[in-house]
Amino acid sequence: MNTSRSDRPARWAFEALFAPGTDAGRLEHVFSGGTVVVVRPSVLRQVIRTHAQWIAIDPPHPHSLVLPRAALERIVLQHGLLLETEGLDDPVVLVAEPGPAERSALPPWVVQRRLLAGAYHALVHARLERLVRRGELGAQRARQLLGRFGHPQAREALRVLAHADELLPPPGPTRDLIELLARGLELRHAAAPWRLEAWFPSLQPGDLERVCAALRTDGIALDPEAVLGSEASGWLADLAPRPREETDSVRSETRTDAEPPPAAEHLAHRLWHALGERGPRPERWAAALAPLIEAREGGTLARRGRKLLADLDRACLDAEQPATAIDLTGWLRSFGRRPLRRALHDQVPVRVHRRLRTALGRARRLRTERSDLEPLVAVLEGATQHAETAIRERFTPGLRAALRAVGLDPHTVVEELAADKTADELVDRLLERDYVSFADLRDELSRNDLKLEDVESPLQLLTGDALLRADRLLGRRYPGVYRRSTFYMRFLQRTSSLFFGTRLGRWLVRFLLLPFVISIMTLEGLQHLLEPIGHATGLGTPHLVHRGSVLALAAFALGLLEYPPLRRLVAGLALRVGRGLRLVLWALPLRLLRLPWLRRLLDTALFAVIRRAVVRPAAVVGLVWLLLRAYGLDVYLGWREWAAIFIASSAAINTRFGLQLQAHLRDTFAAWWGQITRRLLPELVRATLDLSRRALGAFERAAHLVDELLRVRREEGRAVVAFKIVAGRVWAVLAYVLQFLVTLFIEPQINPIKHFPVVTVSHKLLLPSLPLFVSLFEAVFEPALAKTLATATVFTLPGFFGFLVWELNANWRLYAASRSDRLEPALVGRHGERMPALLRPGFHSGTVPKAWERLRQQAEEAWERGEALHAWRERLRLQEVTDDVRRFWQRECCRLLAGRSELGPAPWEVRSVRLGRYRLGVELGPPEHEPLLLWLEVRGRWLTAAIERAGCAAALGAAGRATLADALFGALVRAQLEAWCPWEGPQQPLAIEEHDDSLEREVRDVVQVDRTPPGIDLRAPRLRWSDWVARW
């Protein structure tokens, strides 16, 4: 019988922490590797600030520290810390104790495990730092040991540690190695191996063992038994997290001999037929569904489980009773020749896939509470995959044929692959949203290499170009799945084709309209930004928009648009100015404060006395003065009163209570500051960026729900059908109006990407015209209603301008004449990310690092609570990125290699995708051959590529290697590669340090030295479109 967490006994000296009224200045425990001193977090943070000469509020590595005893005694004396230092070993190993809230909220064994893991971490530090002091672990030896991890793995791990504020100054390879080994070994042995993956996804346990083996040859052992002793190391392995208790009456015992209930078998056969007799067999369905069915029949099934079964039942109903569309308008126009009711057979697999996908999400959430649902999750994953395959097989050929039927014929191999990619990405949208719209079709053609030809005649403007013809054809061919364009989208497409699809129109746009629009918008935007500053300072706002400024800026904009050398010159100047400002405002002051002689001066006893007796009391006096001024209190204080306040505050600050209060306030502020900067602000930014997507998603889901309720079913009576026909007509008009308002006026307002500068400047221009709109509406409506309508118009009309700019930008890129002369980067992520945006952290980027960071935070929170890690949302997001990267390389590289005789008879495919935190690896090759392994990695500002293993590519002939190099080269340009680097083998010492600008310099030097991976010749990451087409 298992022992519950709360019943586990306290086994070592840290149990004194839980004694009532414990207020010791120091608690010690002796291990075989040394003595650990447990101190309060506030004391440890102050020691770290002083010892590490840390300037910021929140110090790094706040859980433990190793320092000489003399340094600790000096810091205690300097700051008046409440810590006894007599009888301590040299060096001193400090570990932070848990706070009072954690002691009361967590079971004792959980806190003991945290302290034991912290002690192991600190003692590894102490052992390795002892080697450094003896001169046995220098910088060169540290670089060699870091190289044994592998250069990319070590680089990524050090970036993770730097992001988590785990690296203590001063920077260097010795510091990096010590912290990486201490943290990695703690994660490896602290009874939670999933923490190692969450922290360092590119590291494997074998990497740590390899480095530890190299240290053992030097006589240094770092395993828990050698550091903590045999008894304590056993405790560390025994204190493991346990899964949550299950909420339903059905527990985790596995079913072996029991037959599934009849209801499970009946539902299993219905699901088997709903999937077209594909996917998991009915026997697997029945066995997997049995726990839920039995719990439902016993009345103990939770609400989430009931919803899961309801989703599966609806999937069966969607296949058994297809929805029917009532085409009353078409029936009347054709005088009854067209059928009134049409079964929407194409919707059946899409709706079944959606139900299965929803059920799979519920099963994954429910699995965290019921371990007997693992088989159901596996069955649902297989069924969802089969449903997706069926949808692709059904719709992809039809979409390709429809594009050809309207005249979008590919003329080259590249355009042929672009047509296939367009169809595949439309199916991707169908699987994601359950429908495809005209906007999706237009966006795919705009992004891909399959383009429209120019408008040939005025008649084509009336009948529509190839895009509008494809819109009509897909609407007839796939009712219920494809949503045709609205009248305003068709009008916008026809109008824009006059300017974008004719030679004269493009000339007017490029040389007249666009430069002046950029000029006016830029000047108005600057005016908008300078107005608040002018009002606040009383200097007034300069009038920037006049004829001369508009003409001058328009000429400059024309030069930027049409003359690439000017663009490069301006970009280079802007980059240098930015670097200069960063150097003056940030880098130089930071370096000055870190000068050794200045830090020694600030750490002297004289400055300590000045800080405690003069600076801090003066700060209190200044705070009192600010409060009096802020509240407008008419209180006169002379110099005697201010002197009394200064003396009283100095005496209060330097008492025992004052020192404790300062430490508490400092720690509270540091904790709040850490929460704000690391949690609140990133989550607020992410929520703001997701606002428009979530709002539009909620609107689409609500509209889809109403559409489902008004769908006519085959078995419904005439009265119900008549009611749904009438209600459907009313809802169609209402939904059309709502869609019009949301798309044109609301969505651009709440989308931060579209808001600035177009919507922002439009607001600025329209706000002064509010009285004019009021007077216009008052001529027709009552004053109150007129003011309401005028205000709504002024505040919603700017959204239309944002919509217009974004739509016209997409329409411009539809035509072959507007194609760039260079091969353009392609989108990779399903949310519109390019490859650098997936891997490079930033405001609008960093999908993969952010997902790994959330997974790391959840892993730490689960481990601190003594629970197992689930984090299925983050794992699912990472799996989605893996699938997106796989599809990108399959479509951009492997399809180009299909049918090439110089590469052999077997087709090349994406064998696997490896996802790290700041890098990803792709294995390419034919089945049953050693694959080529290519890595993409973010290094500083650069997205770099390197080939670790040539694999079967090394055995190709000269023609095969040239073909493979061309395909890889094009895919890397599509991935927006910025630098090519040679692969760094583990036999080389790590020669890069992640601080200042050394990383960027190192990448630039490597690019100049070597661009040649083993066996394959690649060039610089630039390619002209004409050369790319001619190659294939």
**What is the per-residue pLDDT for 556?**
94
The closest of 329, 330, 294, 328 to 309, measured between CA atoms, is: 294
d(CA 484, CA 476): 9
Measured CA distances, 610 to 76, 110, 604, 623, 641 (Å) = 16, 43, 10, 19, 22
The pLDDT tens digits of the residues spanning 424-467 come to 999 999 999 889 999 999 999 999 999 999 988 888 877 888 99
Tokens representing 427? 């199916």
Under 8 Å between Cβ of 541 and 527: yes
The closest of 172, 149, 176 to 161, measured between CA atoms, is: 176
The amino acid that residue 281 corresponds to is R
Q: At 594, phi and psi to the nearest 5? A: -100, 5
**What is the per-residue pLDDT for 587?**
81
- Beta bridge partners, 36, equal 29, 93
**What is the per-residue pLDDT for 147?**
87
d(CA 211, CA 143): 12
Under 8 Å between Cβ of 978 and 1010: no
The closest of 522, 22, 478, 30 to 232, measured between CA atoms, is: 30
The pLDDT tens digits of the residues spanning 385-395 come to 999 999 999 99
| Bond from prior residue into 771 cis (ω within 30 degrees of 0) | no
The closest of 528, 508, 527, 523 to 554, measured between CA atoms, is: 523
Under 8 Å between Cβ of 939 and 788: no
Q: At 985, phi and psi to the nearest 5? A: -75, 160
**What is the per-residue pLDDT for 983?**
64
The closest of 803, 196, 915, 294 to 923, measured between CA atoms, is: 915
Q: State the residue for tokens 């666009």.
A: 514
Rg (CA), the chain: 34
Under 8 Å between Cβ of 911 and 966: no
**What is the per-residue pLDDT for 936?**
92
CA atoms within 13 A on the CB side of 434: 21
Question: In angstroms, how far is CA 644 from the centroid of its own chain?
Answer: 55
Mean pLDDT of successive 10-residue stretches along the chain, which has 1032 residues: 34 39 54 78 86 79 90 82 80 84 75 83 90 88 89 90 88 91 88 82 85 79 78 59 43 51 90 90 91 80 84 92 78 76 87 94 82 87 95 96 92 93 95 91 93 87 88 91 91 92 92 91 79 72 84 93 89 88 84 78 77 84 82 72 85 76 75 73 71 77 81 77 84 88 86 75 79 86 89 88 89 92 89 89 85 89 76 85 96 92 91 94 93 89 84 89 89 83 53 34 33 42 83 87
d(CA 747, CA 861): 36
Write down how long the chain is.
Answer: 1032
